[in-house]
Chains A and B, each alone.
Chain A
Amino acid sequence: MEQALYITRIQQLEYVREGFARIYFGAEFCERLIPSLDDVSTIAAFVQKRSLALTLMTPYVTNAGLDRLVLLLDAVRDMGMQVEVVFNDWGVLDLLRKEYPEFVPVMGRLLNKTKRGPRIMNIVDKLPGTCRNYYESCVLSVGAACDFLKQRSVYRVECDNQLQGLRLENTDPAIRKSLYIPYVFISTTRFCLTAGCDDPERTDFVGVDSCARECRNYMFQLDNQVMSVPLLRKGNAMFYVNDTIPETLADGQYDRIVVQPEIPV
């Protein structure tokens, strides 16, 4: 089982410990947080020095974000490194396949659309088997979906440690799976409620607007008794914590565990 450390900032390199064979670095949810060339160079030098592997995280992007990614990917290519790139946007996969075939594309957890709302835990034991199967399964159970990915050179898919569990035994073994712990992604928005939250004039604004990276300074917890766990909002994304290692980890369904020491925003 490969162990990877997922960080979003250079300072988080302090979490690197023996046992991690790979570093995930980048932004998954917001194009404004796509790392700078300097930061990627720093990470690249760090992993090369320690013979670690590198996975670059990318978010869903507008045209502007796509242009920023191109600059970044060009720079990484110039470094001559073998890297994985996690895509959470079909346009980014298109870019990777056509312009950067030397990089290894990995389908991110935003495109693996399993249901992750924690309310399910109130009823999961009472659901008919068909419904439970649905919530514990995913698109990878469909052969045509796996073929679709393989035809596009995608042989790895990222998965969350969702509370109700995720069964992968009926999926194509040629597609490998990574498991993220402990933060489980639930939802994201471009109408970021952390953006501009210091500005009382924007209290009532819901839309796409500028920000001062307030996401790096604030974190919010949302509680409602119907949610079996607290919801954590950081920046434009929502998570919960599930640090229980699933039994399926021992079944060989995953071959990589991705540790998030902090909420990855």
Chain B
Amino acid sequence: MKILSPLDSAAEVDELVDAGAGEFYCGLLDERWHESYPVISINRRPAGKGHFRSFADLGEAVRRAHDRGASVYFTLNEHYYTDEQYMLLWHYIDGAIEAGIDAFIVTDFGLIAALQERNYQIPLHCSTGTTVFNRRSISFFKELGVANITLPRHLSVEELRELSTHASGVDLTVFILNSRCVNVDGFCTFQHGLAGPEILPMYRNACMLPFKVSGVKLNDSGQAQALPADSPQVERQKLWERVHVDDHPCGVCALFDLYDMGIGSVKIVGRGNPQERKLKDIQFVSSLLEQVQQGDCDRDCYLKHARSLYGSVYGRECRRFMCYYPELL
């Protein structure tokens, strides 16, 4: 099992590998794209931090990563691209290949089809946006020649185990840390980053905004009765804005099971995070993975240790609503 880490520049590679990263994912967004599409990303990250700025730096990162035995995957994972965008897209695709990347991470079936139409030989990985929830979906993408699939966040450990038994011939990646979106990534049509961070209500993800929530209960004859504002049903709806990205959501309790079921990679979310944060996250997961791989600790012992380590590394107790796999708590 490898740790899939975010990467934003060549300068980060060595330290992140030393910390335990075995593979990287990254994106590149420069002025060429930004001038044409100032509020539309090429890779699900708004303009600003979290991108390589040049193919030269990307090439250097790939060289350093390969020297250390790590792979680099390039994200082109927007949910869809339009015909008009392809002129620019080919520029980024060709540039990334020239830089030596090991695979593209993609979501859009149109892009998969377009790459195959042009007979590109580079491996394709499915991003979580491809919403692979079942064995038939694995089979569908396997037949398209996909080498790796990042599964949705919205699968229980038991469902992951069931899926893993149908994954021969394709590697599976599972989320382990950060950014536990409450919506299914590949089915969420809210825009991200419609303005710069100076206009927060347009910049922030929709699910992070404060909402005034009201509710009704429908009786048997279909008539609606307003719910009190402080009712538990209404209160529960406000969880949406509490569950989000950069507040250390964590799934390491599942690492023992994920390793056991043969999951190929665990993904740490965090393009754009400071290097210090990336290092901390990788070291945290890496030390636990090492413990699992050594096999000298049973599941209960592992779970106890993982929770304790989370507390000491992040300075907080485990929280149910920020847990990737709350069924394990």
The chain A residues found within 8 Å of chain B, CB to CB, are: 60-66, 89-95, 110-111, 113-117, 119-120, 122-123, 127-128, 130-131, 133-135, 137-139, 141-145, 147-148, 170, 185-191, 193-194, 196-200, 202-209, 216-227, 231, 233, 238
Contacts and interface: CB of A to CB of B under 8 A. Distances in A.
Contacts of A62: 133-134, 155, 159, 162
A144 to B, nearest CB: 4
Contacts of B186: 113
A217 B155 contact: no
B285 interface: no
Given A114-B189, A226-B209, A120 B194 contact: yes
Contacts of A135: 40, 191
B201 A148 contact: no
B83 A115 contact: no
Given A148-B109, A193-B237, A198-B233, 11 more contacts: A60-B131, A93-B140, A113-B80, A120-B191, A134-B85, A141-B83, A197-B232, A199-B232, A206-B182, A207-B325, A222-B237
A205 B36 contact: no
Interface stretch (B21-29, B47-55, B212-220, B269-277): B212-220
Given A90-B130, A91-B135, A218-B218, A131 B38 contact: yes
Interface stretch (B65-73, B110-118, B294-302, B306-314): B110-118
Interface string B176-193: 000000111011111100
Contacts of A193: 182, 236-237, 239-240
B83 A191 contact: no
B163 A204 contact: no
B189 A116 contact: yes
B237 A220 contact: yes
B202 A188 contact: no
Contact of A91 (B86, B132, B191, B211): B132
A94 B166 CA distance: 15
Interface in B153-169: 154-156, 159, 162-163, 166
B101 interface: no
Contacts of A191: 154, 182, 243
Name the residue among A123, A141, A198, A220 with the largest chain B CB count within 10 angstroms: A220
B93 interface: no
B139 A131 contact: no
B136 interface: yes
Given A205-B326, A224-B211, A89 B110 contact: no
Contact of B39 (A131, A141, A233): A131
A219 B92 CA distance: 44
Categorize the interface residue count of chain B. 35 or more
A116 B80 CA distance: 13
Given A134-B84, A148-B113, A203 B235 contact: yes
B318 interface: no
Contacts of A187: 183-184, 187-190, 207
A60 B187 contact: yes
A139 B81 contact: yes
B133 A204 contact: no
Given A137-B82, A144-B113, A223-B211, A92 B136 contact: yes
Interface in B27-48: 36-40
B137 interface: yes
Given A61-B134, A204-B239, A185 B189 contact: yes
B81 to A, nearest CB: 7
Contact of B133 (A89, A219, A220): A89
B320 A205 contact: yes
A200 B232 CA distance: 6
Interface in B101-133: 108-110, 112-114, 116-117, 130-133
B131 A89 contact: yes
Interface of B: 36-40, 79-86, 108-110, 112-114, 116-117, 130-141, 152, 154-156, 159, 162-163, 166, 182-184, 186-191, 194-195, 201-202, 206-207, 209-218, 224, 227, 232-237, 239-240, 243, 320-321, 323, 325-327
Contact of B108 (A139, A203, A205, A219): A139
A144 B188 CA distance: 23
Contacts of A206: 182, 239, 243, 320-321, 326
Pairs A-B, 10 closest by C-beta atoms: A91-B136, A145-B110, A91-B137, A190-B154, A117-B190, A148-B113, A113-B79, A144-B113, A222-B211, A226-B201
5 contacts: A95-B136, A119-B206, A187-B183, A188-B183, A206-B243
B132 A189 contact: no
B135 A207 contact: no
A187 B38 CA distance: 24
Contact of A131 (B37, B189, B190, B320): B37
A118 to B, nearest CB: 9
Name the residue among B82, B113, B166, B218 with the largest chain A CB count within 10 angstroms: B82
B217 A220 contact: no
Given A60-B187, A61-B133, A62-B134, A217 B217 contact: yes
